[in-house]
Structure 1
Amino acid sequence: MSGIDGLVAGVLGNPAVPGEALLRALTGELGRVACNGLAEATAFPQEVIEVMVGHPDRRVRMALAGNPHVDPVQRARLVTDPDRVVAVWTVRGGRHPDGDPRPLPDDAYARFLSHVMWSEGDPDGDLLTRDEMMQELVASPDTPSHIYRSFARRPEAELRLMACWWWESHVMVDRVALTLDPVRGVRRRARRAAFDVRRCLTDIDWSPTGRGSEFFISHRPLTRADAERIVLGDAPPHYRPYAAGNSHLPADLVAVLARDPDPRIRYRVSIRPELTEGQRAAIDYEVPALADLDDPMQLVPRCLVGTPEEWARSRHPALRRRAACSGGQGRARSDAGALADELRDALAVDPDLGVRVLTCRHQVGVAPELLLRAYRDFHGCHRNRLTYRPGFPTHGLARFAGDPDPGMRELVLRDPGASAEVVLGLLADPERCVRTALARHPAVPVDRLLVLLDDPELGPYAARNPALPVEVMHRILDAAGVPRGV
C-alpha cells in the first residue's frame, strides 16, 4: 500500500464510509493527514459528531469545526471551545467546493464574541491573542456583513471601538450612538472617524516608491493641489489608478484620466458611479478578463447608482457583471434580489465571457447547456465551482474523455453512466488532475481498486472511491494500527 496515512485519510473522506469505521478511527491515534481526511468528509452520522465534539485531540475538533459539509448548527457547538484555535477554526470555516458561504447561526457569532471578550485563555500562553481571534472573524468570507456591523450595538466597549473602523458601513443611528457612547475612548474614536471621512487627505507619501497611501487616495477627499499633483504632476504614477475611482475627484480631472494612456485607468474611470451610459460609452476602455470566480468584485464597481435591472441592460460589461452577481449570499455579491428570468437568460448568453460565467455562478435557473458552455469557455481560478451549480449536467459527460482540455476530461468523474473502459483509460491520462479524479469513479472495478491502493500517487484517491468494499476500509485501519471491536 502507499503511505498508510494517506490511505486512512482517503477512507475517512470516502462518501460511503460507514459510521462504525469512523468511530473506530476516532478511538486511535490519528495523524495530521488522517485528520485532513475528516476535514473533507462529506457527511458524518450524529453519533460520530458527538464523539468529535468532545474528542481530546484538538485536530479532530478542528476537522469538524472547519468541515464545510457539516451543518453549521453542529459546527457552531465549537465556537466556545476552550482551545482558542478550535474556536477560530469554527468561525473561519472551510471552503465548500461550490464556493458558497456557509455562515454559522447569528447566535453562534454572539457566543463567539462573548467567549473572546470574557475567556481567560490558556495560562501557558495562547497561540492566538484576543485581537487575532477578532481579525480571523472579520476576515472570514463566511462571516455575514451584518455581524461586524452589529459591533456598534454590542455591550463590550472593545467591540464598539472596533466598529468605528467600518464607519461608513453603519446606519446613521448607530453612528450617532457611537459618537455619544458612554465610554470616552469609543466616543473619541467615533468622532475621529466621522471627521476623517470628511476631511481632506494631507499626509500622502510622495516618495517614488511610496505604497502606503493607495487606500486613502481611493476614498478620502483630496485637496485641489494634491489631486492635480496625482493626475497631472510628479506623484508616483501608481497613485493614478486609485485616484481614478475616488468619488471626490473634480470632474475636470476625471475627464483627464478618461483619456489617460493607461487602459487600466480608463477602465476605472468608466465604472465611476456618477457617469451616464453615454459618458461611459465615450471612454475608450478595455474590460479586464475575469480571472477568478471567487473575486469578481475586483473588476466590478461597488457603489453604482441604479438597480440590478438597470445594470443588466447597460452597454458596459462591468455593470452587467455586477447585475450577474446580484441576489446571492456573501460579501462578493449584491444585496439586491435575484434577477428576473428574462434578464438572467439574456445575461447567460451575453457576448462578454465574464458576464456569462458570473451569471452561471450566481443565478439559479440557468439552462444546463449554458452552465456547461460557461465551464468550457472559462479557464480562470475556481472554474470547478460551476460544476456544483444546480442543473449542471452529469449524464453524457463521458463523451469528453478524449477532449484536449484536461478540465473537460475531469468531468467524466461526474457521469454515473461512464463505462469502466472509459474510466480505466483515463487512469493513465497524462494530467495528474484527471488521473486522481477518475480514481474516485465508482465504475473502477474492485480488483483494480485494490491494485490502485498500492499506487503511491493514486492510492489515497482510490481509498475515497465509494465502490471500495467496507471490509477493505477496515483492513486499511488495521494496517494503521487502529484496534477492532472498540
Structure 2
Amino acid sequence: MDPLLCGLAGNPALPVALVDGLIALADPDIDDELARRDDLGRAQAITLAARDEAGGVLLAYEGLLTAADADPTAQPRVALALLDQRAGDPAWARLLAASPVVAHRERLAACPGLPPDVVETLAADPDVGVVVELALWGEPDVAARLARHPHAEVRRAVAANETTPPEVLAALVGGEALPPARHCLVCDREEPPFAHSPDCPRPDCELRPGASCDGSHESTALDILRAALENPATPAEAAAGFADHPSMLLRWALAARPGLPPQAYARLAVDPTPGVRADLASNPAIDDTLIRVLAGDSSPDVRRALAHNPRVPLDVLADLTATTRIGAMPLPRIASATAAEVEELARSPHAAVRALLARRRDLPDGIRDALADDPDAKVVAAVAAHPGLTEARLHAMVDRHSAQVLTGTAANPDATPAVLERVARHRPPVRKALREIARHPRATAPALLPCLADARFRPLAARHPALPPEMVVELLSDPAAPVAEAAAANPSLPLAVMEVLTRRAIDGQAS
C-alpha cells in the first residue's frame, strides 16, 4: 500500500481528472479509498464496482449504482446489496435463491420485499442458516409460520424478530400451543447428551459457548425465551411471570421492558444480580417509589444507571451526585428539565448538580454565562464547550482554572484562533486539549504546531487544512505512514504536487 496515493485518493480537493488517473491505476487499496469519496460520478463508480466486488457493495449502498450496473452472476454480493435496498431486479432473487453459495442465500433471506415464491424457496432451504435469516427478518406472516419450524434455532430467530405477531411470541414464551422442536444446532452436530465447553479447543467449532442438548434442546430453548422476553412486541402479561425465574439471563431480559405490572418490577428490584437491578434502575417504566428504593442500592452501577433514568426526580438526582460517580454523559432528566427547573439547578448549592446542568448545550445565555463564571472548576469545565461563550469569557475561564478547563475550551465551536493558540501553548501540554485543537475548524497553524509535536495527534493535525501548503508538502516525507497519508489527504496540498504524485504513479505502473 502506498500511503501517499491512498491519502491522495481521499483528498476532497482532488480534481476529477486526477481521480480518473488514480482509478486507472487499478490498485485495490487506492480503489477502496476512491469508493468512499463523496464526489464520485456514476461512470467512475461503475468502473470501480466492476473491478472490485467489495467496493461495488459499498457503492451500491451509497446509491451510486442501479440495477442496470450489476450482474448477479458475476457479482452476486453487489446484486444482494441492491436487493437489500429494494433497488435490484426481482428476477435476481430467484437466481440467487438457487445459488450454491450458502452465504449468498443467507444474505438474500435477510432482504426485504422478496417475491412470495422466493420466500417459499428460502423457507424450505436445506441449510438451517438460510431459514434462520428468513425467520429473523421476514414479514409477520412468514415469522408466524416459521414459529412451528422443527428446528429450535429457527424459532429463536422468530422470537427475536420484532415483526413477529404478539400472539406468536406469547406462544413461544408459553410453549403449549406449538409442537416441540425436533432439532437444535447442538444435536445436529453431537450425540445427546452433550454440553459444549466454553473453552472448546476446536478451531472449527461453531457452537455457542455453553450450548447443550440432552434431547430437549435446553440451551436453545432458554435462548428462545430470552429473545422473546427482550422483544418489545412480546405481550407484557406473557413476560411478567419470569421476574423470579431461576435463570438470571431471563430475569435480566425483563429488567428494561416497559409495561410490566408493579409486582414484577418490585421482584426485580431485589434481584441478587446487580446488572439486573441496574437495567431496572434505568427503566423509565418504574415508579417513584421504586426509584427511591433503588437510589439507596449498595451497587454504584445501579445508582449510576438510576441517574440516567429520564424520570428520576431532581432531588433524588442531587442525592445521587453525593454518593456516585455519574460520568460525563449528559443525563436525560437534565436534558428534559423545564425552564424553571433549569434555574433551580443553576442555583443548587451542590457543584456536582451545577456541573450536570452545565453539560447541556442549549442553556439560556444568562445561565450559561453564570456557570462559566462559577467558582468550581468542574462546573466551568463542563460548560466550557457550550456555544456562545465569548472570547473574553473563555480567556477568563482559563485565567482562573488553567489546565482543568483547557479541553472543554478547545472543544468550544466558538473558540477563536487566539484562544486555541493560547491553549496549545500551555505547558505542560494537555493532550486531550491538543486532540480537540487538531480537529477544530478554527485552528491556525500556530495552534496546530504543538499538535504535530505529539505523535498521537500528528496524523490528525497533518490533515488540517489550516496548515501552510509548504508544511503539508514537508509532511509527505514523514517516516510515519499515517502522517504521510494524512498530509496527502490534506486539501491544502498544492495542486501541482497532487499532479506530480499521480503522474509518478501512472508512469511507474507503465514502466
Q: TM-score, normalised by structure 2?
A: 0.55
State yes or no: 1:38 paired with 2:49: no
CA deviation profile, 1:244-297 (whole Å, cap 9, x unmatched)? 456798865643442345432322333455422232222235675999xxxxx9
> Which residue pairs with 1:26 in the alignment?
23
Q: 1:73 to 1:196 in 2, by over 3 A?
A: same
Contact map agreement 1:13 1:40 (CA 8 A) in 2:
yes
- Larger deviation, residues 46-55 vs 260-269: 46-55
Contact map agreement 2:98 2:105 (CA 8 A) in 1:
no
State yes or no: 1:282 paired with 2:293: yes
Amino acid at match of 1:114: P
* Equivalent of 1:475 in 497, 500, 506: 500
> Which residue pairs with 2:104 in the alignment?
129
> Which residue pairs with 2:205 in the alignment?
none
Residues 433-444 of structure 1 aligned to structure 2 (within 5 Å)? 434-444=457-467
Contact map agreement 1:400 1:411 (CA 8 A) in 2:
no
> Which residue pairs with 1:74 in the alignment?
64
CA deviation profile, 1:97-130 (whole Å, cap 9, x unmatched)? xxxxxxxxxx97223483662234897x658422
Residues 157-172 of structure 1 aligned to structure 2 (within 5 Å)? 157=120, 165=136
> Which residue pairs with 1:459 in the alignment?
484
Q: 2:497 and 2:342 mapped to 1: Cα distance?
A: 48
CA deviation profile, 1:276-329 (whole Å, cap 9, x unmatched)? 2232222235675999xxxxx9x978xxxxxx8x789896799x956799xxxx
Q: 1:35 and 1:459 mapped to 2: Cα distance?
A: 18
* Unpaired runs of at least 5, structure 1: 67-71, 92-106, 138-147, 168-173, 292-296, 302-307, 326-338, 376-385
Percent identity between matched residues is 19
- Larger deviation, residues 23-32 vs 157-166: 157-166
Residues 375-394 of structure 1 aligned to structure 2 (within 5 Å)? 392-393=413-414
Shift of 1:475: 1.7
State yes or no: 1:84 paired with 2:76: yes
Q: 1:52 and 1:178 mapped to 2: Cα distance?
A: 39
Contact map agreement 1:258 1:266 (CA 8 A) in 2:
yes
Contact map agreement 1:312 1:343 (CA 8 A) in 2:
no
Contact map agreement 1:218 1:243 (CA 8 A) in 2:
no
Q: 1:122 and 1:467 mapped to 2: Cα distance?
A: 52
Amino acid at match of 1:38: L
Q: 1:419 to 1:364 in 2, by over 3 A?
A: same
> Which residue pairs with 1:428 in the alignment?
453
Shift of 1:460: 0.7
State yes or no: 1:15 paired with 2:5: no
Q: 2:292 and 2:479 mapped to 1: Cα distance?
A: 57
Q: 1:36 and 1:365 mapped to 2: Cα distance?
A: 46
Shift of 1:436: 0.4
State yes or no: 1:216 paired with 2:191: no
Contact map agreement 2:109 2:134 (CA 8 A) in 1:
no
Q: 1:51 to 1:241 in 2, by over 3 A?
A: closer
Shift of 1:13: 0.4
> Which residue pairs with 1:334 in the alignment?
none
Shift of 1:448: 2.8
Amino acid at match of 2:78: V
Q: 1:469 to 1:288 in 2, by over 3 A?
A: farther
Q: 1:251 and 1:478 mapped to 2: Cα distance?
A: 72
Please give the secondary structure, in 2, of the residue aligned with 1:282: helix
Q: 1:345 to 1:157 in 2, by over 3 A?
A: farther
Contact map agreement 1:24 1:482 (CA 8 A) in 2:
no
State yes or no: 1:114 paired with 2:125: no
Q: 2:342 and 2:65 mapped to 1: Cα distance?
A: 37
Residues 180-259 of structure 1 aligned to structure 2 (within 5 Å)? 193=169, 195-199=171-175, 212=219, 213=222, 216-217=225-226, 219-220=228-229, 221=238, 228=244, 230=246, 240-242=251-253, 244-245=255-256, 254-259=265-270
Q: 2:40 and 2:98 mapped to 1: Cα distance?
A: 32
Contact map agreement 1:217 1:246 (CA 8 A) in 2:
no
CA RMSD of aligned residues (A): 6.0
Q: 1:257 to 1:399 in 2, by over 3 A?
A: same
Q: 1:311 and 1:154 mapped to 2: Cα distance?
A: 51
Contact map agreement 1:427 1:439 (CA 8 A) in 2:
yes
Please give the secondary structure, in 2, of the residue aligned with 1:111: coil
Q: 2:303 and 2:28 mapped to 1: Cα distance?
A: 39
Q: 1:15 to 1:478 in 2, by over 3 A?
A: same
CA deviation profile, 1:339-379 (whole Å, cap 9, x unmatched)? 89969989x9995999987x76xx9999999886489xxxx
Please give the secondary structure, in 1, of the residue aligned with 2:500: helix
Amino acid at match of 2:32: N
Please give the secondary structure, in 2, of the residue aligned with 1:481: helix
Amino acid at match of 2:15: P
Q: 1:374 and 1:323 mapped to 2: Cα distance?
A: 19
